[in-house]
Homo-oligomer: A and B are copies of this chain.
Amino acid sequence: MAATIYDVAALAGVSIKSVSRVLNREPNVSHALQEKVRAAVETLDYRPSLSARSLAGASSYLIAAFVDASLTLQHMRSGRGNDYLSRLELGALVECHEAGHHLLVELIDYGSPSLEARLSALLRALRLDGVLLTPPNADDPRVLDILERAGTPFVRVGAERDLDRGMRVHMDDRQAAQDMTRHLLSLGHRKIGFVSGPAAYAASQARREGFLQALAEAGLSPHAMTDGDFTFDSGRRAGATMLSDPRRPTAVFASNDDMALGVLAAAGDLGVPTPQALSVCGFDDTPGALFSAPALTTIRQPVAEMAAAATRMLLAAKRGEASPSQEIDYVLVPRASTQAPLEN
């Protein structure tokens, strides 16, 4: 029913190999032949079968984003989407689409004891052209091992450490946190609290370091350091702890927006007016940051751009071109939630 390469060859009056050559833009094909083939392809509305190509050739035209299974289940249960992942996918999707590739989303159970076996089986079953590794698992050595052994190109998106394995697209979380802290300092804050993210994320560590370094440069030490886990609730708890202390900070820097919004909520709970009595800033620029009261000062991560760049790197690797690791610029977005402290 559907046209095959034989139908095209027959209609164009050439061999199937010639059709294949034209389709794959191989060199050494006469212009006349090209035209004949293109015409036949057009009239038959022909499109090569992905599976046949993938089975016979070296390429599957498939790129996969590896996504943390337990994180996904967690999001599902709470009825929430994953903004970071969504933006990442949009970026990857557009590049795949333009290059005639397809984007697969694969749930990976990083907690499974048989992770390695499953992963290598998956790679053999799929024959992926490339893999996008997403946080918080862009650094997992087990995965990197399997991927390297399978010879599958991969990009670690948003990975903090330069492991010199595979390719990498990231932004400078450390520097961004430093900038944000300087922003608070420049407003006149001296008593600044910090809410850290979960240790599983390398970015948590980087943001924390940036914060501490900026303070150190100003000859200050942190007013309070509290642990969070990137959730709203943990931010609220952290905020409650910091703000119920009589010696409370005039500003709190939370390692992500959800926690920053939690701090804002805690301030509301305790009757601490924001931003008058407390400046709060976050990190990520999630949807909620724009709509909170006051709107949240934060760091915008260009996730879609990072994913698009990563996808282009994968495509280039397929052509045999090596791409260097790439750093993408962040933007500090000042909004109403940070202002100069009242009493100075």
Contacts and interface: CB of A to CB of B under 8 A. Distances in A.
Interface of A: 2-3, 45-55, 60, 67, 69, 72-73, 75-76, 79-87, 89-91, 93-94, 96-97, 102-107, 117, 120-122, 124-127, 232, 261, 264-265, 268, 285-288, 290-293, 300, 302, 304
B261 A291 contact: yes
A2 B123 CA distance: 10
A83 B90 CA distance: 12
A125 B48 contact: yes
Contacts of A96: 107
Most buried by B among A232, A264, A285, A290: A290
Count copies of this chain in the complex. 2
A38 to B, nearest CB: 14
Contact of A55 (B49, B79, B93): B49
Contact of A84 (B46, B81, B127, B232): B81
A288 B285 contact: no
Given A79-B285, A265-B291, 17 more contacts: A49-B124, A49-B127, A51-B53, A51-B55, A52-B55, A76-B91, A76-B304, A79-B87, A79-B302, A80-B87, A81-B83, A81-B86, A85-B86, A89-B105, A93-B105, A103-B104, A261-B291
Interface of A is mostly: helix
Given A48-B125, A86-B86, A107 B117 contact: no
A93 B304 CA distance: 20
Contacts of A103: 104-105
Contacts of A302: 79
A91 B292 CA distance: 28
A265 B294 CA distance: 11
Contacts of A285: 79
10 contacts: A2-B124, A3-B124, A47-B122, A49-B124, A76-B94, A79-B302, A93-B105, A232-B291, A288-B290, A288-B291
Contacts of A107: 93-94, 96-97
Given A2-B124, A55-B49, A81-B81, A102 B106 contact: yes
A52 B52 CA distance: 7
A96 B107 CA distance: 9
A80 B122 contact: no
A59 B76 CA distance: 28
A279 to B, nearest CB: 16
Contacts of A84: 81
Contacts of A232: 290-291
Nearest to A72: B90
A85 B83 CA distance: 10
Contacts of A105: 89, 93, 103-105
A76 B92 CA distance: 11
5 tightest A-B CB contacts, nearest first? A293-B293, A81-B86, A47-B121, A51-B54, A86-B86
A93 B67 contact: yes
A80 B302 CA distance: 10
Contacts of A102: 104, 106, 126
A103 to B, nearest CB: 5
Contacts of A264: 291
A81 B73 contact: no
